[in-house]
Amino acid sequence: MVIDKATFREFQIVGKVLTDHRYNTSHSGNISMRSGGKMLIKRRGAMLGFLEPEDIIETDLYQQDSGIMLSSTETEVHRQIYLQTDAMAVIHAHNPFCVILSLVEDEITCLDAEGCYLYKKIPIIEVENPAGPADAAREVPKVLKNYPVVVVRTHGVFAKGTSLIDALQNVTGAEQSAMLRYYTLLLGKPLKRDLSKEKFFSEW
Protein backbone atom coordinates (compact mmCIF):
# COMPACT_ATOMS: atom_id res chain seq x y z
CA MET A 1 0.00 0.00 0.00
CA VAL A 2 1.24 3.49 -0.87
CA ILE A 3 -0.02 6.13 1.58
CA ASP A 4 -0.59 9.64 0.20
CA LYS A 5 1.66 12.43 1.48
CA ALA A 6 -1.07 14.43 3.24
CA THR A 7 -2.34 11.41 5.17
CA PHE A 8 1.16 10.32 6.14
CA ARG A 9 1.99 13.86 7.27
CA GLU A 10 -1.00 13.77 9.63
CA PHE A 11 0.18 10.47 11.12
CA GLN A 12 3.68 11.90 11.44
CA ILE A 13 2.58 15.10 13.19
CA VAL A 14 0.32 13.30 15.65
CA GLY A 15 2.91 10.64 16.46
CA LYS A 16 5.55 13.26 17.16
CA VAL A 17 3.27 15.37 19.37
CA LEU A 18 2.35 12.32 21.44
CA THR A 19 5.97 11.38 22.09
CA ASP A 20 7.30 14.93 22.44
CA HIS A 21 4.69 15.59 25.15
CA ARG A 22 5.55 12.27 26.83
CA TYR A 23 2.08 10.85 26.44
CA ASN A 24 3.81 7.73 25.14
CA THR A 25 7.16 6.02 25.50
CA SER A 26 9.33 5.49 22.43
CA HIS A 27 7.33 2.51 21.16
CA SER A 28 3.99 2.61 23.01
CA GLY A 29 0.60 3.87 21.88
CA ASN A 30 -1.15 3.58 18.55
CA ILE A 31 -3.02 5.80 16.10
CA SER A 32 -5.38 5.00 13.25
CA MET A 33 -7.65 6.50 10.63
CA ARG A 34 -10.74 5.11 8.93
CA SER A 35 -10.59 4.98 5.14
CA GLY A 36 -13.82 3.62 3.67
CA GLY A 37 -14.02 -0.05 4.52
CA LYS A 38 -10.38 -0.07 5.57
CA MET A 39 -8.37 1.17 8.51
CA LEU A 40 -4.90 2.72 8.41
CA ILE A 41 -3.04 2.00 11.65
CA LYS A 42 0.47 2.18 13.04
CA ARG A 43 2.71 -0.83 12.52
CA ARG A 44 3.33 -3.01 15.57
CA GLY A 45 6.53 -1.90 17.32
CA ALA A 46 7.01 1.25 15.23
CA MET A 47 8.21 4.36 17.02
CA LEU A 48 5.42 6.96 17.06
CA GLY A 49 7.83 9.88 17.02
CA PHE A 50 9.74 8.62 13.96
CA LEU A 51 7.12 7.15 11.65
CA GLU A 52 7.99 6.18 8.09
CA PRO A 53 5.42 5.55 5.32
CA GLU A 54 5.95 1.79 5.67
CA ASP A 55 4.90 2.06 9.34
CA ILE A 56 1.28 2.70 8.32
CA ILE A 57 -0.54 -0.59 7.76
CA GLU A 58 -3.85 -1.00 5.92
CA THR A 59 -6.25 -3.63 7.23
CA ASP A 60 -9.90 -4.47 6.67
CA LEU A 61 -12.53 -2.99 8.99
CA TYR A 62 -14.97 -5.87 8.82
CA GLN A 63 -12.77 -8.96 8.91
CA GLN A 64 -9.24 -9.97 9.73
CA ASP A 65 -6.81 -10.06 6.83
CA SER A 66 -3.05 -10.28 6.38
CA GLY A 67 -2.64 -6.73 7.69
CA ILE A 68 -3.38 -7.96 11.21
CA MET A 69 0.01 -9.68 11.29
CA LEU A 70 1.81 -6.34 11.03
CA SER A 71 -0.57 -3.85 12.63
CA SER A 72 -0.71 -2.69 16.24
CA THR A 73 -1.60 -5.17 18.97
CA GLU A 74 -4.54 -2.87 19.75
CA THR A 75 -5.98 -3.17 16.23
CA GLU A 76 -9.13 -4.93 17.40
CA VAL A 77 -9.90 -2.10 19.84
CA HIS A 78 -9.63 0.44 17.01
CA ARG A 79 -11.75 -1.76 14.73
CA GLN A 80 -14.57 -2.05 17.26
CA ILE A 81 -14.52 1.70 17.92
CA TYR A 82 -14.99 2.35 14.19
CA LEU A 83 -17.74 -0.24 13.89
CA GLN A 84 -19.69 0.96 16.93
CA THR A 85 -19.18 4.75 16.98
CA ASP A 86 -18.95 7.73 14.62
CA ALA A 87 -15.14 7.86 14.90
CA MET A 88 -13.09 8.64 11.81
CA ALA A 89 -9.78 8.53 13.71
CA VAL A 90 -8.63 6.93 16.96
CA ILE A 91 -5.66 7.55 19.25
CA HIS A 92 -4.50 5.42 22.16
CA ALA A 93 -2.02 7.12 24.48
CA HIS A 94 -0.69 6.70 28.02
CA ASN A 95 -1.42 10.20 29.36
CA PRO A 96 0.38 10.38 32.73
CA PHE A 97 -2.08 12.59 34.63
CA CYS A 98 -5.12 10.74 33.27
CA VAL A 99 -3.56 7.46 34.42
CA ILE A 100 -2.64 8.88 37.84
CA LEU A 101 -6.18 10.10 38.48
CA SER A 102 -7.60 6.79 37.26
CA LEU A 103 -5.86 5.14 40.22
CA VAL A 104 -7.84 7.18 42.75
CA GLU A 105 -11.01 8.38 41.00
CA ASP A 106 -13.92 6.85 39.10
CA GLU A 107 -14.20 9.76 36.65
CA ILE A 108 -12.18 12.88 35.93
CA THR A 109 -14.44 15.85 36.48
CA CYS A 110 -13.04 18.91 34.76
CA LEU A 111 -12.41 22.03 36.85
CA ASP A 112 -10.88 24.33 34.23
CA ALA A 113 -13.05 26.42 31.91
CA GLU A 114 -11.82 24.81 28.68
CA GLY A 115 -12.23 21.29 30.03
CA CYS A 116 -15.68 22.13 31.34
CA TYR A 117 -16.68 23.45 27.93
CA LEU A 118 -15.22 20.59 25.88
CA TYR A 119 -15.59 17.50 28.06
CA LYS A 120 -17.55 18.13 31.28
CA LYS A 121 -16.12 14.89 32.61
CA ILE A 122 -13.84 12.14 31.33
CA PRO A 123 -15.13 8.63 32.09
CA ILE A 124 -12.85 6.03 33.65
CA ILE A 125 -13.53 2.34 33.07
CA GLU A 126 -12.01 -0.74 34.65
CA VAL A 127 -11.34 -3.95 32.75
CA GLU A 128 -9.89 -7.21 33.99
CA ASN A 129 -6.83 -7.03 31.74
CA PRO A 130 -6.08 -3.32 31.12
CA ALA A 131 -3.12 -3.87 28.80
CA GLY A 132 -4.82 -6.54 26.67
CA PRO A 133 -6.94 -5.70 23.63
CA ALA A 134 -9.81 -8.15 24.23
CA ASP A 135 -11.42 -6.44 27.21
CA ALA A 136 -10.82 -2.94 25.85
CA ALA A 137 -12.33 -3.90 22.48
CA ARG A 138 -15.50 -4.90 24.30
CA GLU A 139 -15.81 -2.00 26.76
CA VAL A 140 -14.18 1.09 25.23
CA PRO A 141 -16.57 1.50 22.25
CA LYS A 142 -19.57 1.51 24.61
CA VAL A 143 -18.24 4.68 26.24
CA LEU A 144 -16.98 6.37 23.07
CA LYS A 145 -20.50 6.29 21.66
CA ASN A 146 -21.26 9.20 23.99
CA TYR A 147 -17.89 10.68 24.95
CA PRO A 148 -14.88 11.81 22.89
CA VAL A 149 -12.32 10.24 25.24
CA VAL A 150 -12.21 7.51 27.90
CA VAL A 151 -9.56 6.37 30.37
CA VAL A 152 -8.86 2.68 30.98
CA ARG A 153 -7.82 2.51 34.62
CA THR A 154 -4.05 2.05 35.09
CA HIS A 155 -3.45 1.97 31.32
CA GLY A 156 -4.27 5.07 29.29
CA VAL A 157 -6.78 6.87 27.10
CA PHE A 158 -8.64 6.09 23.90
CA ALA A 159 -9.90 9.14 22.02
CA LYS A 160 -11.92 9.48 18.83
CA GLY A 161 -12.19 12.33 16.35
CA THR A 162 -13.29 13.38 12.89
CA SER A 163 -9.59 13.33 11.97
CA LEU A 164 -6.32 12.43 13.67
CA ILE A 165 -5.77 16.10 14.52
CA ASP A 166 -9.23 16.28 16.08
CA ALA A 167 -8.60 13.11 18.09
CA LEU A 168 -5.26 14.59 19.19
CA GLN A 169 -7.09 17.63 20.56
CA ASN A 170 -9.17 15.27 22.70
CA VAL A 171 -6.07 13.48 23.97
CA THR A 172 -4.20 16.68 24.84
CA GLY A 173 -7.30 18.45 26.16
CA ALA A 174 -8.13 15.56 28.47
CA GLU A 175 -4.58 15.48 29.77
CA GLN A 176 -4.56 19.23 30.44
CA SER A 177 -7.80 18.97 32.44
CA ALA A 178 -6.44 15.97 34.34
CA MET A 179 -3.19 17.80 35.12
CA LEU A 180 -4.99 20.91 36.37
CA ARG A 181 -7.32 18.80 38.50
CA TYR A 182 -4.35 16.88 39.95
CA TYR A 183 -2.44 20.00 40.95
CA THR A 184 -5.60 21.67 42.29
CA LEU A 185 -6.33 18.67 44.51
CA LEU A 186 -2.69 18.67 45.63
CA LEU A 187 -3.11 22.19 47.02
CA GLY A 188 -5.69 20.88 49.47
CA LYS A 189 -7.56 24.18 49.50
CA PRO A 190 -11.27 24.75 48.83
CA LEU A 191 -12.15 25.95 45.35
CA LYS A 192 -13.29 29.55 44.91
CA ARG A 193 -15.53 28.30 42.12
CA ASP A 194 -16.37 24.77 41.03
CA LEU A 195 -18.01 24.77 37.59
CA SER A 196 -18.39 20.98 37.74
CA LYS A 197 -20.84 21.28 40.63
CA GLU A 198 -22.58 24.35 39.22
CA LYS A 199 -23.28 22.46 35.99
CA PHE A 200 -23.86 19.03 37.60
CA PHE A 201 -21.21 17.37 35.45
CA SER A 202 -21.42 14.16 37.48
CA GLU A 203 -24.82 13.59 35.92
CA TRP A 204 -23.60 13.87 32.30
pTM: 0.93
| pLDDT value at 56 more than 80 | yes
CATH number at residue 112: 3.40.225.10
Number of domains in the chain: 1
The domain of 168 spans 5-203
Question: What is the mean predicted confidence (pLDDT) over 49-65?
Answer: 91
| pLDDT value at 199 more than 90 | no
Residue pair 107/121 in contact (Cβ under 8 Å)? The answer is yes
Q: How confident is the model at residue 197 (pLDDT cuts 50, 70, 90)?
A: confident
Query: How many distinct helices (H) and strands (E) make up the chain?
Result: 7, 8
**According to the model, what pLDDT value does residue 55 have?**
94
- For the four alpha carbons of 51, 55, 58 and 63, in that order, the dihedral sign comes to negative
Note the pLDDT tens digit of each residue in 67-124. 777 788 889 999 999 999 999 999 999 999 999 999 999 999 999 989 988 998 999 9
Distance CA 118, CA 96 (A): 20
| pLDDT value at 200 more than 90 | no
| pLDDT value at 156 more than 90 | yes
Question: What is the mean predicted confidence (pLDDT) over 57-61?
Answer: 93
**According to the model, what pLDDT value does residue 1 have?**
66
Q: How confident is the model at residue 131 (pLDDT cuts 50, 70, 90)?
A: confident
DSSP state of 177: H
Q: What mean pLDDT value characterizes the chain?
A: 92
